[in-house]
């Protein structure tokens, strides 16, 4: 059964193909027949890049007999849409710069008499012509290949403006649309993280108060004013830190995506399973990598991106796994003005501690025996505002 009018999906496929592949001014709707092979061969011989969209004429005629009527209807709809656009049902159908040019005979004649509107490379005669044109651009370098969405997101505003007139308008519109979608997804994810952080903060506050009361009740102690004040100070400090994180997240929501690869000043950081998890210093200055197979703690300075390894060397594999950060209000501001970070032992025999203020790395506790001991930790404040690492 043939359709009475071209299907909208077929029209969309045609225009999507004509607006794609910016390196190729010539677009061909072709079938597996001698005419299509002749056109492709003549264009390759002339060194003219082209893009190809298959229209299987044989299947369009015989698909009902083969039992694949649905595919046959789709192929006939595509041929009908092409015929409505070009005024001809002949395949191959050749377009130049988005406009219908003609069939195989017209293309071959114009190539032979020199009237074809696209000039080819003088020494190009192989199938590599299309690939080289895609890499190097066409028209003497006036055009450049369309960057990927990932590359476009990493460009500065000046680099994006420089693309205007050097890539296809349709391709540039697709990149801009993709960038908008990327920003919406990023903002949605940040919002979800913000809500989750708020929920976790509320739960942590409630847990700290409930645990403190339970421990005092178990010890038969009346509520202590100093202890209560210390707990409130700890909770307030954590709330302020969480609020600063939320403010930073909100400020980034409308900013364009930015991806930057930070390299170590000492060369590539080679190896597998080097650091297993990270810890953020409570003061917000550093991010620490927890040593897995790496021998030392990795320190990344947030403000400058400086990367270095600190502390003594520790042998072994999968030594510590993930960590927790402890605010200065709990550690004691005089001794630990930046708080401290603790990494939990997996195959190591002790707990790892990092002091962000002094960059001192030490171990304590244990020795713990066994492999794959603990895979993370959590913090809780007791009735005396002492902080325990749950091992």
* Burial status of residue 311 (CB atoms within 10 A of its CB: 0-12, 13-18, 19 or more): buried
Measured between its terminal Cα atoms, the distance across the chain in Å is 72
> Residue 223 falls within a domain, yes or no?
yes
Tens digit of pLDDT for each residue in 263-286? 666 667 767 778 988 899 988 889
Which among 268, 269, 289, 286 has a CA at the least distance from the CA of 278?
289
- pLDDT (0 to 100) of residue 228: 62
Pair 49, 130: CB distance under 8 Å = yes
Pair 105, 93: CB distance under 8 Å = no
Domain span at residue 333 reads 275-389
> Quick one: 140 and 222 in the same domain?
no
- pLDDT (0 to 100) of residue 222: 53
> Quick one: 132 and 207 in the same domain?
no
> Quick one: 330 and 297 in the same domain?
yes
> Quick one: 116 and 196 in the same domain?
no
> Residue 168 falls within a domain, yes or no?
no
Which portions of the chain are predicted below pLDDT 50? Answer: 1-4, 6, 57-67, 122-142, 383-391
Query: What secondary structure letter does DSSP report for 331?
Result: H
- pLDDT (0 to 100) of residue 264: 62
- pLDDT (0 to 100) of residue 104: 92
CATH of the domain at 53: 3.40.30.10
> Residue 270 falls within a domain, yes or no?
no
> Quick one: 238 and 331 in the same domain?
no
Whether this prediction's pTM lies above 0.75 is answered by no
- pLDDT (0 to 100) of residue 362: 94
Segment holding 343, helix H or strand E: strand 340-345
> Quick one: 237 and 297 in the same domain?
no
- pLDDT (0 to 100) of residue 101: 94
CB neighbour list of residue 150: distance below 8 Å, 6 or more residues apart = 259
> Quick one: 125 and 27 in the same domain?
yes
Backbone angles phi, psi at 387, to 5 degrees: -110, 135
End position of a domain, from candidates 130, 145, 160: 145
Record the tokens describing residue 232, joined without a space.
């409130």
End position of a domain, from candidates 100, 122, 145: 145
- pLDDT (0 to 100) of residue 221: 56
The tokens 């002094």 sit on which residue?
358
> Quick one: 132 and 220 in the same domain?
no
Query: What secondary structure letter does DSSP report for 135?
Result: H
Segment holding 60, helix H or strand E: helix 57-66
Pair 300, 346: CB distance under 8 Å = no
Segment holding 26, helix H or strand E: strand 26-30
> Residue 152 falls within a domain, yes or no?
no
> Quick one: 198 and 125 in the same domain?
no
Q: Report CA 31 to chain centroid distance, whole Å.
A: 38
What is the Cα–Cα distance from 55 to 72, expressed in whole angstroms?
11
> Quick one: 244 and 310 in the same domain?
no
β-strand partners of 351: 364
> Residue 12 falls within a domain, yes or no?
yes
Tens digit of pLDDT for each residue in 99-114? 999 999 999 999 988 8
Q: State the helix-helix crossing angle for 169-218 and 225-252, rounded to 10 degrees.
A: 170
Which among 133, 55, 122 has a CA at the least distance from the CA of 94?
55
Number of domains, the chain: 3
Record the tokens describing residue 214, joined without a space.
């339970």
- pLDDT (0 to 100) of residue 142: 41
Length of the chain in terms of residues written = 391
CB neighbour list of residue 56: distance below 8 Å, 6 or more residues apart = 31, 32, 75
Tens digit of pLDDT for each residue in 313-362? 999 888 998 998 888 888 888 889 888 999 989 899 999 999 999 999 99
End position of a domain, from candidates 103, 130, 145: 145
> Residue 165 falls within a domain, yes or no?
no
> Quick one: 20 and 141 in the same domain?
yes
The CA-based diameter of the chain, rounded to the nearest angstrom, is 105
CATH of the domain at 298: 2.130.10.10
CB neighbour list of residue 149: distance below 8 Å, 6 or more residues apart = 175, 178, 179, 182
Segment holding 276, helix H or strand E: strand 275-280
The tokens 């003549």 sit on which residue?
42
| Beta strands at 50-54 and 26-30: parallel, antiparallel or unpaired | parallel
> Quick one: 104 and 198 in the same domain?
no
């Amino acid at each position: 059964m043939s359709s009475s009018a071209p299907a909208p999906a077929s029209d969309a496929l045609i225009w999507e193909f004509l607006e794609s592949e910016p390196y190729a001014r010539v677009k061909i709707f072709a079938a597996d027949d001698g005419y299509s092979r002749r056109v492709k061969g003549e264009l390759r011989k002339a060194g003219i890049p082209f893009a190809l969209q298959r229209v299987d004429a044989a299947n369009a005629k015989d698909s009902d007999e083969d039992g694949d009527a649905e595919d046959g209807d789709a192929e006939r709809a595509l041929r009908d849409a092409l015929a409505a656009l070009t005024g001809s049902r002949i395949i191959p159908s050749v377009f130049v710069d988005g406009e219908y040019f003609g069939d195989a005979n017209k293309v071959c004649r114009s190539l032979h008499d020199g009237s074809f509107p696209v000039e080819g490379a003088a020494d190009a005669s192989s199938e590599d012509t299309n690939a080289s044109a895609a890499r190097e651009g066409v028209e003497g370098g006036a055009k450049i290949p369309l960057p990927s969405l990932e590359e476009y997101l990493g460009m500065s505003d000046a680099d994006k403006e420089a693309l205007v007139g050097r890539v296809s308008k349709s391709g540039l519109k697709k990149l801009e649309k993709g960038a908008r979608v990327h920003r919406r997804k990023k903002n949605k994810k940040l919002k979800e993280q913000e809500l989750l952080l708020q929920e976790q903060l509320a739960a942590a506050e409630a847990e700290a108060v409930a645990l403190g009361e339970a421990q005092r009740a178990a010890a038969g102690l009346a509520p202590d004013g100093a202890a209560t004040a210390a707990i409130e100070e700890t909770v307030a400090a954590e709330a302020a830190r969480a609020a600063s994180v939320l403010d930073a997240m909100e400020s980034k929501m409308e900013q364009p995506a930015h991806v930057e690869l930070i390299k170590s000043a000492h060369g590539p950081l080679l190896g597998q399973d080097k650091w297993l998890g990270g810890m953020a210093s409570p003061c917000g200055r550093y991010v620490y990598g927890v040593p897995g197979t790496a021998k030392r703690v990795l320190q990344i300075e947030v403000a400058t991106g400086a990367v270095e390894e600190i502390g003594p060397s520790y042998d072994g594999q999968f030594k510590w796994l993930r960590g927790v950060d402890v605010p200065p209000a709990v550690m004691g501001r005089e001794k630990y003005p930046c708080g401290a970070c603790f990494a939990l032992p997996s195959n190591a025999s002790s707990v790892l501690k990092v002091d962000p203020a002094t960059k001192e790395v030490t171990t304590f506790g244990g020795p713990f025996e066994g492999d794959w001991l603990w895979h993370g930790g959590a913090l809780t404040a007791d009735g005396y505002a002492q902080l325990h690492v749950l091992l």
